[in-house]
Amino acid sequence: MGLALSPRWGTAAAPRIVKVKAFEFAYEPKQITVPPGAVEFDVTNTGSIEHTFLIDDPAKKTVGKIASILPGKTEKLTVTLRAGAHTIYCDLAGHREAGMIASLKVQP
Amino acid sequence: MKQDDLRDEALYLQTRADELAWHRAHALGVSRRRFLQLAASAAALAAADTLGRAGNGSQAAPADLIVKPTPPEWFYDFASNKEMRWENMAGRGYLVPNELFFVRDHSRTPRIEASTWRLKVEGSGVSRPLELSYDDILSLPETSVIRYVECAGNGRSFFEGAYGKRASGTQWKLGAIGVAEWTGVPLREVLDRAGLKQTARDVMPEGLDELRVRRPMSIAKALEDDTLLVYAMNGSPLPPDHGFPVRVLAPGWVGVANVKWVGRLEVSEQPLFTPWNTDNYVLIGPDYAPVPPAKGPVLTTQSPKSAFEVPWDGELPAGRRTIRGRSWSPFGKITRVEYSVDRGITWQTATLREPNIPRAWVRWDFEWEAKPGSYSLRARATDEQGNRQPATVPFNELGYLFNAVIGHPLTIRP
Ligand SMILES: [Cu+2]
C-alpha cells in the first residue's frame, strides 16, 4: 500500500501520530478521529496480558494489524487511511466481546 | 560421582517411570482407592525426579496472573501464557511434571474453592438438569488416561518466518504442549445422569474465568471414552493453573476445547455458537472460506508435530551426541520419525522409544557425530493413519495448526 500524499497534511516523512493504550479489556481513547492519509499508531499495552491491535475499514477489510503487544511494550503501526468509519479491535479470543473495540473516524 | 553413574541412575529412574506410565495407560476405570495410591506413587516419583529447584516462589507473574512459579529457565514468558522450554524435557520421563507443564490462560488463573464450586448441567439436550458438587464428581466412576493437551496456536511464531508476517496471538515456538496422566469422570457418565436426549447435538463447557471461555463440541466428541471431566493431573489434584477444581479433557482436539475451571455444561439440541467458535479458533485466511456464522472452518483436531529436546538456537560441544525429541498426532500412534541434520537434503529414520501411546506422544533419538558449524535440525513425523508433517502450511490470521517441518537452529562449537 503506497502512501497517499495529501497536500493539506504535509509530507510522508511526518505521519500524524496517535497514541493509544490497550488493557483489560478496552482501548483508550475509545473514539479517535483523524484526517485521511498516513497515520502512525503508537499502541502501549498498559494491562497485564497480551493484546493485539487491528484496524478494519468500512468494508470490514483489515488494513493494519499489530499481531502481539506484550504488557508494558509499545508497538507501532503506520497505515494510510481513506475517509470513512473504521473499527479498531483486539482479535484475541474473547477480547473484542469483553470491550476491546474503539471507533476510528477518518474525515477531512 | 562419575558422569556414567549419574547417567545410569537417571536411566534407571526413567525406565521405572516409563513402566508406570505404560501400566497406567491401560488402567482405565480404576477405583477411588486406586486414585489415592496413584497420588502416593506420583509423589514418590516426584521426589526421585531430578527437577531443579529453581522456582522458590520468587517468580510470580505481575498481578499474580498465574499461581505456580514460572522461572525463565523453565518457561518462555508471554504474561498469562508460559511456554515450556523443550530442553528441560531432555532425557526426562514420558510425562511432563505439573511444574513444567505449559500454561495458556485466556485471562488469568481464577482462585476457586472446591467447597463452593458447582457444576451445572443444563439445556435443551438433557431431560434432568443437574448440579454437582466437587464430592459428587469424585464419587462418580473414575478413569485415568495419558494424553497430550496442546494449544491450537502452538508453533504460531513460525508463520512469520514462512510468510514474513505475524499471525495474531502468542508467538509460541513448539512448547505449548504437554503430556500428563489425567484422572476424572468420563463426560458421558455425567451427561447420562442428566438424561441426555437422543436429539442432543452440542455440548458447551463454560469456564469460570474472567472471559468465561465457551467452546462448544459435538455430542460425538463429548461421548468418546477418553473425553473426561478431570480433577487430577499426574496423580495430584488438578493445579489451579491447569483448571482446579475440574477441567475438560478433549483428547486430540485444540487446547481451547479442554476448558479449564468448568462451571457449566450446556447441552443443546441446536448447534451452539459463541465467539469461541465463530471469531476465534477458526481458520481465517486466503485459503479458507467463511462457514457462516463462523469466519472460517472451525478447528477441532490438532495436527501431527515434532520437537527437539534441544535448546532453541543453543550450543553443544562437538562430538558424538544423542539427539532426542518427541512427536505426536491427534489421529493415533506415531509410526515413523525422519530427521535431517543437513537442512532437509538427506533424511534418516530415528529410533522410537516405548511407550508410544495414541494421542500422547512418542520419544525418539538418533546418534550424531556433530562437527563444528551452524545447523538446522529437522524432524518429520508420520502417524499410523499415514498423516505426515507437510513442508508448508497455508497462512491463517490467527496462527493455528502450524505443523510444517521447521529448522531447529543449533550451533556446534569446536
Ligand atoms: Cu486484547
pLDDT tens for each residue of B340-361:
999 999 999 999 999 999 999 9
A78 falls within a domain: yes
A1 falls within a domain: no
What's the B21 CA to ligand 1 centre distance in angstroms? 39
pLDDT reading at B330 higher than 60: yes
Question: How far lies B313's CA from each of B86, B234, B316, in Å?
Answer: 12, 31, 10
A45 falls within a domain: yes
- Average pLDDT of chain B, as a whole number: 89
* Phi (first) and psi of residue B361, to 5 degrees: -160, 175
b/e code B261-274 from CB counts within 10 Å (16+ = b): bbbbbbbbeeebbb
A64 falls within a domain: yes
In terms of Cβ atoms closer than 10 Å to its own Cβ (0-12, 13-18, 19+), residue B364 is buried
Cβ–Cβ contact A93 with B under 8 A: yes
User: Where are any strands of DSSP class E within B75-194?
Assistant: 75-78, 81-84, 103-104, 118-122, 130-133, 143-150, 177-186
Of all residues in chain B, the percent with pLDDT exceeding 90 is: 84
Chain A residues with CB-CB distance to B169 below 8 A: 50, 52, 67-68, 92
Distance CA B228, CA B258 (A): 9
* pLDDT, position B1: 33
Contact B347, B339 (CB under 8 A): yes
pLDDT reading at B219 higher than 50: yes
pLDDT, mean of residues B285-302: 97
pLDDT reading at B7 higher than 90: no
- Average pLDDT of chain A, as a whole number: 91
The residue to which cell 499495552 is assigned: A45
* pLDDT, position B6: 40
Name the residue range of residue A74's domain. Answer: 16-106
- In terms of phi and psi (left: phi > 0; alpha: psi -120 to 50; beta: otherwise), the region of A63 is alpha
Chain B residues with CB-CB distance to A62 below 8 A: 397
| Closest CA of chain B from A43, distance in Å | 15
Higher-confidence residue of A71 and B46: namely A71
A6 falls within a domain: no
pLDDT, mean of residues B375-393: 98
Chain A residues with CB-CB distance to B210 below 8 A: 24, 98
Cβ–Cβ contact A46 with B under 8 A: no
pLDDT reading at B32 higher than 70: no
Chain A residues with CB-CB distance to B398 below 8 A: 91
Cβ–Cβ contact B63 with A under 8 A: yes
Q: How confident is the model at residue B406 (pLDDT cuts 50, 70, 90)?
A: very high
Which strands form A31-34's sheet, in the order they lie side by side? Answer: A31-34, A101-106, A84-89, A51-56, A62-69
pLDDT reading at A105 higher than 70: yes
In terms of Cβ atoms closer than 10 Å to its own Cβ (0-12, 13-18, 19+), residue B72 is exposed
Domain B63-268 has CATH 3.90.420.10: yes
Whether A97 and B275 lie within 8 Å, measured CB to CB: yes
pLDDT, mean of residues B276-304: 97
Collapsed DSSP state (helix, strand, coil) of residue B87: helix
Cell of B335: 509410526
* pLDDT, position B18: 55
Question: Chain B residue closest to A46 (CA)?
Answer: B62
- One DSSP character per residue, A32-95 reads EEE-SEEEEEEEEE-SSS-EEEEEE-TTS-EEEEEEEE-TT-EEEEEEEE-SEEEEEE--STTT
- In terms of phi and psi (left: phi > 0; alpha: psi -120 to 50; beta: otherwise), the region of B234 is left
Distance CA B227, CA B217 (A): 11
Whether A93 and B280 lie within 8 Å, measured CB to CB: yes
Whether B106 and A94 lie within 8 Å, measured CB to CB: yes
Amino acid letter at B146? I
Q: What is the architecture of the domain spanning B305-413? A: Sandwich (2.60)
Whether B78 and A48 lie within 8 Å, measured CB to CB: no
Whether B398 and A50 lie within 8 Å, measured CB to CB: no
Number of domains composing chain A: 1
Chain A residues with CB-CB distance to B256 below 8 A: 93
pLDDT reading at A91 higher than 50: yes
pLDDT, mean of residues B103-127: 97
* pLDDT, position B29: 36
pLDDT reading at B33 higher than 80: no
Question: Of the given ranges (B88-92, B171-175, B305-309), which has the lowest mean pLDDT?
Answer: B88-92
What's the A68 CA to ligand 1 centre distance in angstroms? 9
Contact B282, B296 (CB under 8 A): yes
A4 falls within a domain: no
Spatial CB neighbours of B185, under 8 Å, sequence gap ≥ 6:
B137, B140, B141, B142, B143, B228, B229, B231
A3 falls within a domain: no
* pLDDT, position B183: 98
pLDDT reading at B188 higher than 60: yes
- Interface confidence, given as ipTM, is 0.88
Contact A22, A69 (CB under 8 A): yes
Amino acid letter at B207? G
Chain A residues with CB-CB distance to B105 below 8 A: 49
Whether B279 and A96 lie within 8 Å, measured CB to CB: yes
| Closest CA of chain A from B249, distance in Å | 20
* pLDDT, position B377: 98
What's the A98 CA to ligand 1 centre distance in angstroms? 9
Collapsed DSSP state (helix, strand, coil) of residue A107: coil
Q: How confident is the model at residue B91 (pLDDT cuts 50, 70, 90)?
A: confident
Cβ–Cβ contact A13 with B under 8 A: no
Distance CA B279, CA B257 (A): 15
* pLDDT, position A2: 37
* pLDDT, position B275: 96
| pLDDT tens digits, B234-261 | 999 999 999 999 999 999 999 999 999 9
* Phi (first) and psi of residue A87, to 5 degrees: -125, 130
A9 falls within a domain: no
* pLDDT, position B352: 98
pLDDT, mean of residues A45-52: 98
b/e code B161-200 from CB counts within 10 Å (16+ = b): eeeeebbbbbbbbbbbbbbbbbbbbbbbbbbebbebbeeb
Higher-confidence residue of B23 and B41: namely B23
The residue to which cell 535448546 is assigned: B311
